[in-house]
Structures are given as C-alpha cells and as structure tokens.
C-alpha cells in the first residue's frame, strides 16, 4: 500500500530538548516536504527536498533542520524546540514538485 509514515504521531516535550520526527515513503518519490498546520494560518511549508542530498527552505524554516540521506526518508529535526513550534506537522511526498501530494497522518507536537 502506497503510504507516507511519520512518527511519533503525538509528542509532548519541553523547551530545548532536541527531537526528531521521522518520515518515510514507499512510493519512490523524488520530492518530499514538511508542513506545519496552525489554526488560522493554514498549511505552511517548512522545508522540501528535490532528491537525495538536495534540500531547500520553505516558507517557515526557522528553528528546523532536515536531511535527505536516502530517497525514502526525510526526518525533521528540532534542535532546540520552543513553545511557538507547538503545531500539527505533516510530511508529504510527490513524484514532481507540483504534482499530487501524498500526506502522512500528522504528528501533533506540544512544546512546554
């Protein structure tokens, strides 16, 4: 089954404690991206990757890092989380950068 899997689905952490949200896709897609969704602000792109070892900033990259060492994986790293990073995060993949996006189920992060 074609899918994008992200973990953890729910996480409560404290300010400054590094965390990683993993994302994996099994569709051999070139493009992967991370979004955050906040009430009233919609879906905003954090980072995206066009292929292995190729990443670029989206609209709201501050406070986040990503890596793309393998085609299927695209982890999102919060080196020093802060409360304003409390949000619902989505990983997505697609065959080309403006084609149909396949989303993961989301990771709800709370930073205290």
Measured from the CB of residue 87, what is the shortest distance to other proteins in angstroms?
A: 12
By beta-carbon proximity to other proteins, the closer residue of 52 and 101 is 101
- For other proteins, the binding residue among 59, 70, 83, 112 (CB under 8 A) is 59
- Using DSSP's 3-state secondary structure scheme, residue 46 falls into strand
Smallest CA-to-CA distance from 47 within 2, 28, 56, 39 is with: 56
By beta-carbon proximity to other proteins, the closer residue of 2 and 14 is 2
Burial 78-101 (b: 16+ CB within 10 A, else e): beebeeebbbebbbbbbeeeeeeb
Alpha-carbon distance 73 to 42, whole Å?
Answer: 25
Binding mask 13-52 for other proteins (x = CB under 8 A): --------------------x-x----xxxx-x--x----
User: For binding to other proteins (CB under 8 A), which residues are involved?
Assistant: 4, 33, 35, 40-43, 45, 48, 56, 58-59, 88, 90, 92, 97-106, 108
């Amino acid at each position: 089954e074609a899918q994008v899997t992200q973990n953890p689905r729910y996480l409560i952490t404290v300010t400054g404690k590094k965390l990683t949200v993993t994302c994996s896709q099994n569709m051999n897609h070139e493009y992967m991206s991370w979004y955050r969704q906040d009430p009233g602000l919609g879906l905003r792109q954090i980072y995206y990757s066009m292929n292995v070892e190729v990443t670029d900033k989206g609209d709201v990259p501050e406070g986040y890092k990503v890596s793309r060492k393998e085609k299927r994986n695209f982890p999102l790293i919060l080196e020093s989380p802060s409360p304003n990073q409390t949000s619902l995060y989505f990983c997505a993949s697609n065959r080309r950068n403006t084609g149909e996006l396949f989303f993961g189920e989301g990771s709800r992060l709370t930073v205290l």
